[in-house]
């Protein structure tokens, strides 16, 4: 079954807003057995919307639209859909009453323009939106094709998808069972990982198993998938688990987690299992490592705190880095980054500490220490370890890759080293 996603809004076209809706919808629809064959971003223009609907319905079984359902005059989606399906807009008083109650519950003035959001096509199934004021709309064609319109506000769209749209799509269409398992690896590039599992991968098509590599800075996710009739779900699940385990066995040294978890989750889970704690001392990464860790719910069980030691005086006064080493070797050096990690571990009283110091650019590089060079260290119960990496020349990418790489080093150190006793 093919589905097309139409994202409406000039703010998407000019880059003012990132189209996160399509990514979220694509993931959920794929998990339900749909093939998302096209994603289109289009302006809030009647002719453009009609043209894209014609094009989509010439191919797709379902078309999902987001955006253009607000209370202002530039929100035209429901007007276009009413005209497209040969119906008219009528007042849905029950929806108007709910919208008014929604505003009153938040002590926000209710205006007539808000009531107009209850003007909806007569010949559609209205999908209630408890999270906002823009209702969803479900249209069916004689051919069995479906067109669904939803608000563009992400959490409202997600609520409608989960409570109304996905269940209705499952009921309306007979979909195959599609199962996926995602395995997260770190410390190995995509091509090297592919070479490591080459023989196993070559045998997958004959088993009806798909494989996709999803690289990002510092890690590679591998998505293994199976698809078949709904009644075969149990056997498909067994096949998927067997192939996922086969991959884990082959790439064990680089596997850090499964599912949606990434490096921060993997590090924090291992710290929690070991009963150990962590802190950070960051220079060039500017707090990015701490931010990645504390973004994970429950991080406070293991992540105690951090220091952004951007200036050398902070490195000296808070972390105990010697002025002599700073003068002789510079802030971007092995001895300094080890001292930063050691000092943070001692000052914050944790089992482990991470430290980074590098040249993030775009200026400040030299022949000896070019932009992209980063020293990083892990301090633990058995001392400090340090590494030097080169991460290109783009500042944001340098920070991102360095933050991920040091978490990889910590994960490897904990996996290979002894567990704390006591």
1 neighbors 178 (Cβ within 8 angstroms): no
What are the mean pLDDT values of the chain's consecutive 10-residue runs (422 residues total)?
A: 95 94 94 92 95 97 94 84 96 90 87 86 93 94 97 96 96 89 91 96 96 87 91 92 96 86 89 96 98 96 97 97 97 98 98 98 93 97 96 93 94 75 36
Q: Does the predicted model carry a pTM greater than 0.85?
A: no
Residue 186: its pLDDT value, please?
A: 86
Is the CB of residue 170 less than 8 Å from the CB of residue 32?
Answer: yes
The residue whose two tokens read 């823009």 is 134
pLDDT of residue 420: 47
Residue 86's CB is within 10 A of a number of other CB atoms, namely 8
| Cα 95 from Cα 134, distance rounded (Å) | 9
Residue 253 makes CB contacts below 8 A (sequence gap 6+) with none
Over the Cα atoms of the chain, what is R_g? 27
Length of the chain: 422
Q: Closest by alpha carbon to 72, among 108, 42, 44, 103?
A: 44
pLDDT number for residue 418: 57
* Euclidean distance between CA atoms 45 and 299, whole angstroms: 46
287 backbone φψ class: left, alpha, beta (φ>0; ψ -120 to 50)? left
Strand-by-strand arrangement of the 209-216 sheet:
209-216, 219-228, 177-186, 255-258
Phi and psi, residue 197, nearest 5° = -110, 20
Q: Is the peptide bond before 41 cis (omega within 30 degrees of 0)?
A: no
In the sheet that 352-358 helps form, which strands lie side by side, from edge to edge?
A: 303-308, 278-282, 352-358, 373-380, 383-390
**Residue 188 near residue 152, CB atoms below 8 Å:** no
Cα–Cα dist 277/271, whole Å? 6
Run of H or E including 324: helix 323-329
Nearest to 368 by CA among 329, 421, 324: 329
Q: What is the pLDDT of residue 41?
A: 97
Q: Give helix 77-84 / helix 46-57 axis angle, nearest 10°.
A: 50
The partner residues of 178 in beta bridges, in order of sequence, read 227
Contacts of 36 (CB under 8 A, 6+ apart): 3, 4, 5, 25, 26, 29, 30
């Amino acid at each position: 079954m093919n589905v097309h996603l139409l994202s409406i809004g000039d703010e998407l076209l000019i880059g003012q807003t990132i189209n996160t809706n399509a990514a979220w919808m694509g993931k959920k629809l794929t998990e339900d057995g749909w093939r998302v064959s096209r994603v289109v971003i289009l302006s809030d223009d009647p002719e453009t919307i009609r043209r894209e609907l014609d094009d989509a319905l010439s191919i797709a079984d379902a078309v999902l639209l987001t955006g253009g359902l607000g209370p202002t005059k530039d929100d035209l989606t429901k007007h276009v859909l009413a005209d497209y399906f040969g119906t008219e807009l009528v007042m849905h008083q029950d929806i108007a009453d709910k919208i008014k109650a929604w505003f009153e519950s938040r002590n926000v003035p209710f205006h007539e323009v808000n009531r107009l959001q209850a003007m909806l096509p007569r010949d559609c199934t209205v999908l209630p939106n408890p999270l906002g004021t823009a209702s969803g709309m479900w249209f069916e064609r004689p051919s069995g094709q479906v067109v669904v319109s939803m608000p563009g506000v992400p959490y409202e769209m997600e609520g409608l998808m989960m409570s109304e749209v996905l269940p209705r799509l499952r009921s309306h269409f007979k979909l195959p069972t599609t199962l996926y398992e995602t395995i997260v690896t770190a410390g190995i590039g995509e091509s090297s990982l592919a070479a490591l599992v080459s023989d196993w991968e070559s045998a997958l098509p004959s088993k009806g198993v798909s494989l996709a590599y999803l690289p990002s800075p510092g890690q590679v996710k591998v998505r293994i998938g199976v698809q078949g009739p709904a009644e075969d779900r149990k056997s498909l699940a067994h096949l998927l688990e067997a192939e996922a385990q086969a991959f884990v066995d082959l790439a064990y040294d680089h596997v850090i987690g499964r599912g949606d978890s990434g490096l921060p989750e993997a590090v924090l889970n291992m710290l929690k299992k070991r009963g150990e704690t962590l802190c950070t001392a960051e220079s060039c990464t500017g707090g990015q490592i701490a931010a990645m860790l504390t973004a994970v719910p429950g991080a406070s069980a293991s992540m105690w705190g951090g220091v952004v030691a951007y200036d050398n005086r902070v490195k000296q006064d808070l972390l105990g880095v010697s002025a002599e080493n700073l003068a002789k070797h510079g802030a971007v050096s092995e001895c300094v980054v080890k001292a930063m990690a050691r000092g943070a571990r001692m000052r914050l009283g944790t089992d482990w500490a991470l430290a980074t110091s590098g040249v993030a650019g775009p200026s400040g590089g030299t022949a000896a220490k070019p932009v992209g060079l980063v020293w990083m260290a892990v301090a633990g119960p058995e001392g400090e370890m340090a590494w030097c990496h080169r991460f290109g020349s783009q500042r944001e990418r340098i920070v991102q890759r360095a933050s991920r790489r040091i978490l990889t080093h910590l994960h490897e150190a904990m996996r290979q080293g002894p567990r704390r006793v006591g």
